Amino acid sequence: MMNDINIGSIAIGKGKPTYVIAELSGNHGGKISKAIEMIHAAHKAGADAIKIQVYRPNTITLNSDKADFAIAKDNAWAAYKNLYNLYEYAHTPWEWLPELFKHAQELGIELFGSVFDETSVDELEQYPVKAYKIASPEIVDLALLEKVAKTGKPVIVSTGLANIGDVFTAVSHLKAHGCNDIILLKCTTAYPTPPEEVNLKTVANLEETFNCHAGLSDHTMGIGVSIAAVALGAKVIEKHIKLADEVETVDSFFSLTIEEFQQMIVEIRRAEKAIGKVDYDLTPAASLNKNGRRSLYVSADIKKGEKFTENNIKSVRPGFGLSTKYKAIVLGREASQDLTLGDRLSWDVIQ
């Protein structure tokens, strides 16, 4: 049995509410005021945590125009020409971190980050981060995995560019360096992700195969896939957010507005209540409608001593009469008193 994992004051595990992470990514558009507004909005919407991406352009790629670093013309980010330009635009300046953490602490919401090299771990260790995230492309960076494992904090790992061998290596490496609080996120690194490529059944298989809590990093449009993931056992949901100001930002084309994000959380909480348990008993609410079932009633006037037939009794709603399962027994027997249309059948009126 897997133990719960605590990120700050919130426990993640079986029977616990789904842990919902709001991913800011580069949707702040290079404005710290917008990043702060997003933190406040996500907190108000009900997020459990805010995640940022902690890198500098020169820690994630090279400033090169060579073909290897060019962004393909059919890529969603083709307008940025090359990787360096994209990350220059999309990154969250480290100079913002003191202010971002200040606001998160004042609100009482966890703020942590995806780290992309060892320097970003060193940077975040200056702040009260309670967890780390490893993005899909970094799952093969064993030095980075070792670095985060040695912080002693829970590590969330996305698997969007990993095969099962990569996941096994990553989990093994984290455990070898002291990290046992690992959460694996099913992820498809496609923006937006076609629903048919999500394969939500993998969430449960990740848990079973690696004995780790599992969830979903969701890049699909809308909220339906995340809700379905919760119904299938996801313990964590991560979703990109944006402000509803219609300003185009780097990841806005597949991100939820704050209103949509809030609605997702509402529906996740509704789904959690609905999952329930295996139970064939009538619930209290259903019991109130028990009399809506069929039962046996007199459908034509019957004289005392007259036989019950298909022509004078009938299975109808409501359910105050004799159970319909006794109809075959009643047919052919005689009435013990006069009966009129609409009278309930009961054993008292049957000879």
Total domain count for the chain?
2
Domain closes at, from 275, 307, 335: 275
The residue-averaged pLDDT of 92-113 equals 98
Put simply, whether the predicted model's pTM sits higher than 0.85 gets the answer yes
Residue 312 has φ and ψ, to the nearest 5°, of -125, -5
115 and 233 together in one domain:
yes
Are residues 342 and 254 located together in one domain of the fold?
no
Residue 27 vs residues 33, 137, 350: alpha-carbon distances, Å? 12, 20, 76
Is 290 found in the same domain as 253? Answer: no
Residue 65 belongs to some domain of the structure: no
Confidence of residue 326 (pLDDT cuts 50, 70, 90): very high
Is residue 307 domain-shared with residue 161, that is, in the same domain?
no
pLDDT digits (tens, 9 = 90+) for 292-301: 999 999 999 9
C-alpha torsion 240→159→129→13, nearest 10: 90
Query: How far is 32 from 37, CA to CA, in rounded Å?
Result: 9
pLDDT attached to residue 71: 96
- Residue 50 is which amino acid? I
- Whether 162 and 309 map to the same domain: the answer is no
112 plus 130 within the same structural domain: yes
Q: Are residues 182 and 316 in the same domain?
A: no
Q: What is the pLDDT of residue 245?
A: 73
- Same domain, yes or no, for 302 and 340? yes
Q: Are residues 230 and 294 in the same domain?
A: no
Q: How confident is the model at residue 345 (pLDDT cuts 50, 70, 90)?
A: very high
Distance between CA atoms of residues 274 and 265, nearest Å: 14
26 lies in a domain? yes
Last residue of a domain, one of 275, 310, 340: 275
In a domain, 152, yes or no: yes
Same-domain pairing of 156 and 31:
yes
336 shares a domain with 190:
no
In this structure, what CATH number is given to the domain that contains residue 334?
Answer: 3.90.1210.10
Model confidence pLDDT, tens digit, residues 181-233: 999 999 999 999 999 999 999 999 999 999 999 999 999 999 999 999 999 99
43-66 pLDDT, tens digit each: 999 999 999 999 999 999 999 999
Work out the pLDDT band at 290, boundaries 50, 70, 90: confident
- Asked if residue 164 and residue 289 are part of one domain, the reply reads no
The residue segments making up the domain with residue 118 are 5-56+91-275
Burial 225-243 (b: 16+ CB within 10 A, else e): bbbbbbebbbbbbbbbbbb
Q: Provide the CATH number for the domain around residue 30.
A: 3.20.20.70
Do the domain assignments include residue 69? Answer: no
What's the pLDDT score for residue 83?
97
Could you read off the pLDDT of 68-91 as tens digits, one per residue? 999 999 999 999 999 999 999 999
| Residue 244's pLDDT band (cuts 50, 70, 90) | confident
- Given 219, 251, 275, which residue is the final one in a domain? 275
Residue 226 lies in a domain: yes
